[in-house]
Amino acid sequence: MLTTINTGPLAASVRHLLDFAWNQTRSCAFAIALLSGVAASTLLPGLPVARYDLLVAYGVLLTLLFWLRGWENGRDIAVIALCHVIGLAFELVKVSLGSWSYPEPAVLKFAGVPLYGGFLYAAVGSYVCRAWHLFDLELVRYRPRATAVVAAAVYVNFFSHHWLPDARWLLAGLLLAVTAGTSVRYTVRGVRRRMPLALSFVLIGFFLWVAENLATYLGAWRYPYQLDGWEPVGVDKIGAWSLLISVTFVLAAVTRPSRRREADGTHGPTPGGS
């Protein structure tokens, strides 16, 4: 006797979830490839050049490959390059203050920071840009100026809290305020759905924390408490990444074609939207 395959709402939801997960994985292609390179470099004894230097060349080749294959366009490369530069500036300050370190030697290393360190932030930029394409992202009731101002303050606070009071909780509240009512429309299996922008920041922050644990385990960099042996990264970093992702998002949003819906909500309902 033939078994009837369930094609009801539950099965459809599972298919949508699997497609969502698959496109998220595709969006992480650069990050996955970069971390795979970091992992592979730990298994190659007797390298003719320093591991950190080899990873710089690997990061450049990855960027060229993604561009030549058409997986990232000129606007994406500009965002990724800017993320690289901003990330290196972030690293220079944080490493100088002892927040973390890159203990291995390298030629392409300045003030304790190897140039490949910027590719770790470039990978986040690549994720946001590829997700924008693969999910056909569209911002609803987005406040670009206010969000950019808060994101810039978030970036500055990651430096200034070493000398001034830490304002991250205040900034978290401000970020929630400026993104209140803002959502991201995305497509999965031809159906438009939406997610609150603030929720997307938290979800991305969680997965960046997971990636950070993997990266430090592979020796991409080390926190002081990991120098004598790897330990998991504290869960408080989820909040830090949830805030910091706003900087990358603002940079990517500036380069996207204007598809923002009007704040008056006069557009009709979107199938599958919440």
What's the pLDDT tens digit per position in 128-168? Answer: 999 999 999 999 999 999 999 999 999 999 999 999 999 99
Q: How far apart are CA 145 and CA 141, in angstroms?
A: 12
For residue 7, what pLDDT is reported?
60
Amino acid at 176: L
Average predicted confidence (pLDDT) for the chain: 89
pTM: 0.87
Percent of the chain surpassing pLDDT 70: 91
The ranges of the chain with pLDDT < 70 are: 1-7, 257-274
pLDDT at 174: 97
Kindly give, in sequence order, each residue whose CB lies less than 8 Å from that of residue 58, ignoring residues fewer than 6 positions away.
34, 37, 116
pLDDT of residue 4: 47
User: Is the dihedral angle over the CA atoms 243, 244, 249, 254 positive or is it negative?
Assistant: positive
- Among 53, 68, 22, 24, CA closest to 206: 24
> Which pLDDT belongs to residue 239?
95
> Does residue 34 sit in helix, strand or coil?
helix
Enumerate residues 6+ apart whose C-beta is below 8 A from 221.
Answer: 100, 101, 102, 117, 215
